[in-house]
Amino acid sequence: MRVLVAEDDDRIAETLTTSLERAGFRVERERDGEVAWYRGDSETYDVIILDLGLPQMDGLTVLKRWRSAGRLTPVLILTARGQWEERVDGIEAGADDYVVKPFHVQEIVARLRALVRRANGLATSRVQFGKYLLDLRIMEVSADGMPMELTPQEFKLVSYLVHRRGQVISQLEITEHIYNQDYERDSNAVEVLVARVRKRLGADVIKTRRGFGYALGDGY
């Protein structure tokens, strides 16, 4: 889960960052509206948190530009208490949800999860794949009610593959989505991780497309 936090207040941004990272998101932060705009335009995030009062280019403009360029990444906006017109404007500009400052971080996390789910077209936070059930809320994969005891990193990998079911995903893409930016070019961490997941869920859960990447196995 890759999330962009566009927020100029350092304290807020840091609170968000730590909580989101703890919740398993990969956070990138931007304090300038214009820069935030082009990152949201050129990169693929799973969800974006957007403060409306940004320097350089205000959040509403940023959002409108994304939408008019066809970017459908779910956006959650942050507004100050009492500024209800802002919220209305935001929703009309294409925001998917909003949270009022000051906020509870858990609330943000919950809303983000909901947004991502909705965007993926998954009705619930629980997804069935093959004989397994992936539950995003409790971060668990189970089979017939029996939990599978995945480690956090393994869980991230499975979530991402399930999320992009039906596609082949390169090692680079996996690295970018489940690791923080410090990725070494020649590391076989992903391969090892895949092996570990296979050892737990069965070898055919993840299939290898040599030279291309990985995908969920047939029937998953």
**Contact partner, 138, from DNA, a copy of itself, none, Cβ < 5-8 Å per class:** a copy of itself
Question: Quick check: 91 binds DNA (CB under 7 A)?
Answer: no
Computed from CA positions of residues 27, 138, 153, 123, in that sequence, does the dihedral angle turn out positive or negative?
negative
Q: Is 203 helix (H, G, I), strand (E, B) or coil?
A: helix
Question: Quick check: 208 binds DNA (CB under 7 A)?
Answer: yes
Q: How many helices, marked H, and strands, marked E, lie in the chain?
A: 8, 11
Question: Quick check: 189 binds DNA (CB under 7 A)?
Answer: yes
Question: Quick check: 56 binds DNA (CB under 7 A)?
Answer: no
Report the residue number, 114 or 189, with the smaller CB distance to DNA.
189
Which residues are near a copy of itself by CB under 8 A? 34, 38, 41-44, 56, 84, 87, 96-98, 111, 114-115, 118, 137-140, 151-152, 155, 166-168, 209-213, 215
Residues 36 and 30 sit within 8 Å (Cβ to Cβ): yes
Question: Quick check: 188 binds DNA (CB under 7 A)?
Answer: yes
**Contact partner, 97, from a copy of itself, DNA, none, Cβ < 5-8 Å per class:** a copy of itself
The residues, ordered by sequence, that sit 6+ positions from 142 with a Cβ below 8 Å of its Cβ are: 132, 133, 135, 148
Look-up of token digits 């593959």: 161
